[in-house]
Amino acid sequence: MLVTWTVAFAGVLIDAVWSAALAGILALLSVVLLVGARRKRSAGHRARTLSATLAVAGVLGAAVAVSCAVTANIREEGPLAEAMEAGGGVLIEVRVSGIPAELPGPGSSGGNRWAVDAQLLQVTTKGSVTQGSADVLVVGGVGWQDVRPGQQVRTSGTLKSVRDGQTQAGLLAASSAPVVIASDFDVRHSAFDVRRQFVEAAAWLPPDPAGLMPGMVTGDTSALPESLEADMRTTGMTHLTAVSGANCSLVLGGFILLARCLRMSRPFAGVFAACGLTAFVVMVGPDPSVLRAAVMGAVGLVALIGGLRGRSLTFLCLAAVVLLLLDPGMAANFGFLLSVLATLGIILLASRIASWIPAWVPRWLAAAISVPLSAQLLCGPVIVALQPQFTPYALIANVVAGPLVAPVTIFGTLAVPLAATLPWLAVVPIGIAGTCAGVVAGLARFFAHLPGAAVPWAEGPPGIVSMVAFSTVTLLGLWAAVHPARTSAGIVGLHGVIVTLLEVWSHHGALRRRSMTEPQRSRHVQRWSPKRRWRKEPSAPRRRGPAGRRIHGGR
């Protein structure tokens, strides 16, 4: 996974030629490792396994580098390259492939511009028409909030280069509203309409749950109050305002439980759960964290059908590699990085931290504490790099709000299809999910207005290093708090070691002084006099020899 991620991150920043060269080098190294592994049959199983593992990593890295080279070549020599070099305005036709996302307007907290992903059909610049295929990020004003996936639109604007790390071939600053010239069927269009109907069905709730619940269930934060969004950010609960891996895990577990209640066999239960998870992802949208959770769920289903268990770390690595192969641009996405780090923390630390908690504490409470803590310990350095502040109430806020996420996700997901088909029947699940979401919103507002809710933190590398140190100290402090007897024994043992070292050092100094003669001891005391350090020893009287030269010591 590390090799694939590193190659993907480098491929996003370098041009097509260097990506192709990197792919060739990795492929050559893989061949060399495989040949060496076949020749070293007598070297042992571990040596052959290591060589084979490195060879597979090289092959995956080469595949990612090839994908990056193709994307960079389209950006450098594709149909938009000539238009961007020529400058000026263009007339362009695109097919919308994403959902409009609201952007904050300059100098205001609200949003008056919209960004949407699209696929190029043709571009006209200075009377020259160029047809081709390339990914385009369109940024426009009024009218762009109403476009839907599958629509073919025509607009005018200016083409610009994208920033480093973005995978699109160009950015179109639209200067006119979109004109729809055709509309093809796209399942995401229907999913967008379903999400909008769900938001409308929840409009009878108070403002906070009416805006928060659709975000927790479908990822639609269009109705989320700005003040609540700021409070969620302050208390470290931003991940609850949109769909995350926890939601996908709950949905997947719900479908598996339903399949087992219907007495389906293991293969059919896996297929049923996979179809349900796919429908949920399509409804929510291909967000990096959701895609990661979906791929993890699919790998877990394969393990369930094959009877494999206890390989969560392997599943995470495989999921990350698959996602990077599909979209190398995720390597530069902080949301994807935080998602992987949170999952890694849960895999490596959650069970250990839960085992440290005394047995008289209920296991569900131990899990509720260990899961957010383990995720926060690994995500903390990245979070302070993005936003240099520390939220001391984040852990307790997430622990208290954790049990409410499941009912919001389950009842809200049940209400989504009912809101589109039978709105009167969706009132009950919306009411239950909305009540729980209202409690989550109340917790966010309560903790956000406590003294010291947002403590400034150092920026840049010092802030990252200090947060890593703080996370380490927190982990050690937690272990010491739940193991007082072992902590006391360790402190006593450390004290004994220090005392022993001091005694050995003192005894060694005493032996050294005893081995000195009286003149040596006198000179040593004079040389190390506390009043005059490094005092000069008296020299012997000097006299002149027969030849008139000075000699010392009477010699």
pLDDT digits (tens, 9 = 90+) for 260-279: 888 887 778 778 888 888 88
3 state DSSP class of 41: coil
pLDDT digits (tens, 9 = 90+) for 416-455: 888 888 888 889 999 999 999 999 999 999 998 888 888 8
CA count, 13 A, side-chain hemisphere, 58? 18
Q: What is the pLDDT of residue 435?
A: 92
Among the listed residues 303, 304, 278, the one whose alpha carbon sits nearest the alpha carbon of residue 290: 278
In which residue are the tokens 């060399």 written? 32
C-alpha span between 466 and 476 (Å, rounded): 15
Rounded to two decimals, the pTM is 0.74
pLDDT digits (tens, 9 = 90+) for 509-534: 777 666 655 555 565 555 544 444 44
Backbone angles phi, psi at 367, to 5 degrees: -70, -40
Q: What is the pLDDT of residue 45?
A: 60
Q: What is the pLDDT of residue 111?
A: 53
Residue type, 229: E
CA angle 159, 162, 164 (to 5 degrees): 165
Low-confidence ranges of the chain (pLDDT < 70): 37-48, 104-111, 164-165, 185-186, 245-246, 285-290, 292-293, 296-312, 512-555
Q: What is the pLDDT of residue 449?
A: 87
Q: What is the pLDDT of residue 303?
A: 52
C-alpha span between 410 and 407 (Å, rounded): 5
